[in-house]
Amino acid sequence: MDRLKEDSSISLKDQVKKIIRDEIIMNKLKPGERIVETEVAKRLGISQVPVREALRGLEEEGLIRTVKYKGAFVTEINKTEMYHIFSLRASIETEAIEIITPNLTNQKLGVLYDIVEQMKNEKPDYLLQAKLDMEFHRTIIAWAEIATFDRIWSMLNSHIQRYITILNPEIRILPEEVHTYHLELVEVLKQKDIQRSKEVFRQHIMKMVL
C-alpha cells in the first residue's frame, strides 16, 4: 500500500484511479489489455470496492471499456477520434486565450517564461518535457477560471499524453524543439494579438495529428 496515502484528502477511489490512469498513459497497461479488479486490489493492498469505483470513473473518461461477463479492458487508440480530441483541446485553449489576453500581465508572462526555461535540457527527458508541457498549457487554462474548461481539458489531456507516449519516438519532438516552440508561444501571447495567438496555439496543438 506504499503507493497510496492513508491520510490524504484525496479519496481512495481517486488515488486508485490516478494510479491506473498513469499506467495507461505511460503504456504500462496497453491497449486491449484486461484490468482485473482482484489483481489490482491485491497489488495495492485494498478491497475491490475502490478499484471498481476507479474503473467506473476511467470508463467515463474513455480510457477503459467494460465488456459484460468479461471485465474491464484498456481502450484501443482510434486515430480519427484522436484528431477530434486534439481539435477539442485546441478549441478550449483558444477560447481560454481569448479570455485571458486582455488581462495578461508581465507577471503572468513571467510564470510562462519560467516554465519554458525549465524546458532547456541537453539530455532527452521525455517525462520531464511532458510534465512541463502539461504545466504550461494547464496554467493558461487555469487563468481563464472556467471550471468546465479545466475539467474537460484534463480528461482530453490524458488521451493525448497516452497517444504521444505510445507513438513515441515516431512523433517525438527533440527537447530543444520543445523549448523553442513554447518560447514562441509566450512571445506571441506577449503581443496581445488575440487572433494571432489563437491561430498559433491551434497549429501547435494540431501538429501532432496532422
- Ranges of residues in the chain whose predicted pLDDT is under 70: 1-3, 5-9, 122-126, 168-175
pLDDT at position 119: 87
Per-residue pLDDT tens digits for 126-154: 677 778 999 999 999 999 999 999 999 99
pLDDT digits (tens, 9 = 90+) for 163-178: 988 876 565 566 678 8
Angle of CA points 126, 205, 31, to nearest 5°: 60
Q: Is the pTM of this model over 0.95?
A: no
Per-residue pLDDT, 52: 95
DSSP state of 93: H
Q: For residue 200, what are the contacts with CB-CB under 8 A and spacing of at least 6?
A: 184, 185, 188
pLDDT of residue 36: 96
